[in-house]
């Protein structure tokens, strides 16, 4: 196929949306946290607690606590539980 004809076919395919799937970026699903009734329940899944970010986790370690979880799911879990389970408002729920 000549180059001009190939470019024309490609342009027509793009215009009709035939290649739109290849141009669509993949998006990651947002992490979903879990709501816990108390620290005992949270600590069964996250033995060192959960932190809202790495800075809060580092402060907990400096205060001689175990390093709390900071994964995307752990951060979402912190967001759901911070009101009831982060009593000292330091950014770490149920630190050990």
| Residue 62 included in any domain | yes
Number of structural domains, the chain? 1
Which residues are CB-neighbours of 28 under 8 A, at least 6 positions away?
none
Phi and psi (nearest 5°) for 85?
-105, -10
| Residue 35 included in any domain | yes
| Residue 12 included in any domain | no
Phi and psi (nearest 5°) for 92?
-130, 125
Q: What is the pLDDT of residue 56?
A: 97
pLDDT along the chain (96 residues), means of 10: 58 60 58 94 97 97 96 96 96 95
Q: What is the pLDDT of residue 35?
A: 96
pTM > 0.75: yes or no: no
CB 31 within 8 A of CB 78: no
Provide the domain limits for residue 37. Answer: 28-93
| Residue 2 included in any domain | no
| Residue 15 included in any domain | no
Q: Cα(57)–Cα(43) distance, rounded to whole angstroms? A: 15
Q: What is the pLDDT of residue 17?
A: 60
**Token representation of residue 61:** 């370690």
Q: What is the pLDDT of residue 27?
A: 64
| Residue 21 included in any domain | no
Q: What is the pLDDT of residue 31?
A: 78
Q: What is the pLDDT of residue 8?
A: 63
| Residue 3 included in any domain | no
| Residue 70 included in any domain | yes
């Amino acid at each position: 196929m000549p180059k001009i004809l190939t470019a024309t076919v490609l342009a027509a395919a793009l215009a009709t949306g035939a290649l739109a799937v290849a141009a669509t970026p993949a998006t990651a699903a947002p992490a979903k946290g879990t709501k816990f009734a108390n620290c005992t329940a949270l600590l069964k899944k996250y033995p060192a607690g959960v932190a809202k970010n790495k800075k809060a986790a580092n402060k907990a370690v400096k205060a001689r606590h175990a390093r709390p979880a900071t994964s995307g799911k752990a951060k979402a879990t912190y967001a759901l539980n911070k009101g009831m389970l982060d009593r000292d408002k330091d950014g770490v729920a149920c630190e050990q």
